[in-house]
Structure 1
Amino acid sequence: MSKDLVKKLVIDSGALRVAARWQGKGVALLMYHSVSDNPNSQQDTLGGIAHSTLVFRGQMEVIAREFNPITIEDLFLFLKGQRDLPSRPVVVTFDDGYADNYHLASPILEQFGIPGVFYVTVDCVERQMPPWPAQLRFAFLTSGKTGWADPDQRRWSLATREDKIRAFERASEFCGKLSGSPQSDFIAHIYSDLAIEPVRNRPSLMMSWDQVRGLLRAGHTVGSHTMTHPNMAHVGEQDARREFLESKRCLERKLGQPAVHFSYPCPALQPHWREATVRLSREIGYKTAVTANGGLVRAHHEPLCLRRIRPTKQVAGLRWNLECTFAGRVV
């Protein structure tokens, strides 16, 4: 008997739902980035963060049929003790601000009556360039160079694709600690070292501001994913404050409404948030902040460091993971 069949039988038996009743109320936040008709075509930029349109549609059908989608505001009020929630509540979130969020994900969410939360990297939308991990990934995977020296002068082979990915990951450890102009300078230096032309914004790679406003008109929520996508736990307090504050102000100026929801980038290194960033986000005026830490959100949890769940690349896999998570078993 296959594992998939065993999992289906366990789900269909209702045993996991019974176990979930003993766990108390919890909320599952799903963390997506991109939806694509052909995810493999984006391997040199986005890597494995894109979900196929077919799978995403199937996953949202499961969410609408077997769970209860809610808004991030519903979750915030629940955490404040001001709102009760239905059983098995789910929040669907997207990070970065790719145009496929508008063209592909949003219509599917609307088809199934699911409100989404879209966290945009503000400077990337403004400049129409992808976040720095996509820029660096493109540089390393398309370069014809055979080697690269990191800032510590350690040499890295670029002979194979696996070598290039290792070098990209090493470069990400340096870039993740940078924000603003130093980050841009680091990327420019990498492109010069690797002797390739900078990645240009492919048609509709990042959303426009009109498209971001379109998400609001469709009933979704838009939040900040920083200005320039650094690891907020690895930049100084002044840089972290600027990332929190400038992205908030720019969103409010562009969208004409308060920006009170935030998502922590997790591009490289751990941790990707700290108690100091929680305090800073509260001081600046955010109501919620989501992380890449796994698990359910419970009633006693801090609204400014909320857990999320990474969805699988299969419909059945997401269903299994959600059932297990609600039952108290993190998978």
Structure 2
Amino acid sequence: MIKPIIQSFYQRISQQKNRLGNIFQPRAVVLLYHRINEFRPDPQLICTSPAHFEQHLKIIQEYYHPISLAQLGEGIQNKDLPRNSVVITFDDGFADNLWNAAPLLEKFGIPATIFVTSGFIDQPAEMISDVLEHILLGMDTPLKTLEIQVNDKMIRWNLDDPSPRPATWNVQSGSDPNLRQRCYREIHRLMRSLQPEERQNILSQLFVWANCTEKYRPERRIMNSEELRNISRSGLIEIGAHTISHPMLAKQSSSLQQQEISGSREQLEKILGHRVTSFAYPYGGSDAVDARTIGYVKAAGFRIACDNVPGTVGYRTDLFGLPRSLVRDWDNKTFYKQLKYAFLK
């Protein structure tokens, strides 16, 4: 009876010691942005307005220690991490990162890493979430029933709904005011774990159903080759890899994971003419990243990899599982509170 009590006592002491160590050790937060733009609707909540982004940079410059992702990695390895360090990252490689984010980063002299989905470079295409938003939320189609063939299964949605489609609706909303919004949510969730060919097949069916051509909106595209070379020449912005087609890696076969991970690096290095050493897992979390995935990233020669789960970074943080805090379109007061809270996780 006494032994378990003593063990429990020492366990609590050890936990308290670890908590105190986390408080007094230098910590860092890696921020995750996607778009610096004001597109509406924004069902995935990935747009941060240029005005709000500038406010964020002012707060980081005034109250924190901005460093690059490479400096973060070196700080972890050398146990020499500046206190209150903040790293800025972007996922996907949208062209507005060049148009709207880069000038502001240069204005404040704050470094950043942009993880690029290489298969969309120089292609007349949009990311899956954009195509779904355009067809399901932005267009009015005469057909009121949507049927999609997914492998051997036919899935049907009834879209006969005259209800308004609020532009403020997003996937975090507690309800779906319109049947099209529910359909968007369900198809996007379905497509995340499919293979690239299966996802493309669904998109092709959607274009046929909507009776529209596969035209992309230039303002929503991924940076092209020349833009990637230009943005990386500044020395302030690093380009990292984000797979070829943005699949949920852990749901894919070993061969496809290796192809997506190594292939994205090879494509980017061919464009940039130098080594690409950082990687970000699409979607992130336990559903998207497993031991196989991490092993393939290491084998591909990357030095550091970012996940998409919140948390702080310290000396014990795995370089191939860096947590990141997702940033929304917050005003300066909200961002200040959110960043302060992020350092407590």
1:190, distance to aligned residue in structure 2 (A): 2.3
Shift in CA distance, 261/21, structure 1 to aligned 2, threshold 3 Å: closer
1:182, distance to aligned residue in structure 2 (A): 3.4
TM-score by length of 2: 0.82
Deviates more, 1:144-153 or 1:295-304: 144-153
Q: Which amino acid aligns with 2:147?
A: A
List aligned pairs for 1:1-331, cutoff 5 A.
22-36=23-37, 38-40=38-40, 43=41, 47-80=44-77, 82=78, 84-141=80-137, 142-144=139-141, 145-150=143-148, 151=150, 152-158=153-159, 159=161, 160=163, 161=165, 162-203=178-219, 205-219=221-235, 220-266=237-283, 271-312=287-328, 313-326=330-343, 328=344, 330=345
**For this pair of structures, how many residues does the alignment match?**
304
Output the aligned Cα RMSD: 2.2
Q: Which amino acid aligns with 1:96?
A: D
Q: Which amino acid aligns with 1:25?
A: P
Question: Does the 8 Å CA contact 2:27/2:81 hold for their aligned counterparts?
Answer: no
Deviates more, 1:94-103 or 1:156-165: 156-165
Please list the CA deviations of residues 136-159 of structure 1 after superposition, one character each: whole Å capped at 9, or x if unmatched: 222222251322234343432322
TM-score by length of 1: 0.85
Unaligned runs of 5+ in 1: 1-18
Question: Does the 8 Å CA contact 2:307/2:324 hold for their aligned counterparts?
Answer: yes
Q: Which amino acid aligns with 1:92?
A: I
Cα distance in 2 for partners of 1:149, 1:203 equals 30
SS at match of 1:292: coil
Q: Which amino acid aligns with 2:26?
A: K
Shift in CA distance, 47/310, structure 1 to aligned 2, threshold 3 Å: closer
Question: Does the 8 Å CA contact 2:34/2:94 hold for their aligned counterparts?
Answer: yes
Cα distance in 1 for partners of 2:322, 2:33 equals 15
Cα distance in 1 for partners of 2:295, 2:228 equals 28
1:229, distance to aligned residue in structure 2 (A): 0.9
Q: Which amino acid aligns with 1:72?
A: L
SS at match of 2:340: helix
Q: Which amino acid aligns with 2:80?
A: D
1:172, distance to aligned residue in structure 2 (A): 2.0
Deviates more, 1:142-151 or 1:296-305: 142-151
Please list the CA deviations of residues 202-238 of structure 1 after superposition, one character each: whole Å capped at 9, or x if unmatched: 2473212111112211121000111111111211111
Question: Does the 8 Å CA contact 1:34/1:49 hold for their aligned counterparts?
Answer: yes
SS at match of 1:295: coil
Unaligned runs of 5+ in 2: 1-19, 166-177
SS at match of 1:22: helix
Q: Which amino acid aligns with 1:254?
A: I
Cα distance in 2 for partners of 1:170, 1:249 equals 33
Cα distance in 2 for partners of 1:71, 1:320 equals 22
The structure that has the greater radius of gyration is 2
Q: Percent identity?
A: 23
Shift in CA distance, 211/27, structure 1 to aligned 2, threshold 3 Å: same
Shift in CA distance, 209/179, structure 1 to aligned 2, threshold 3 Å: farther
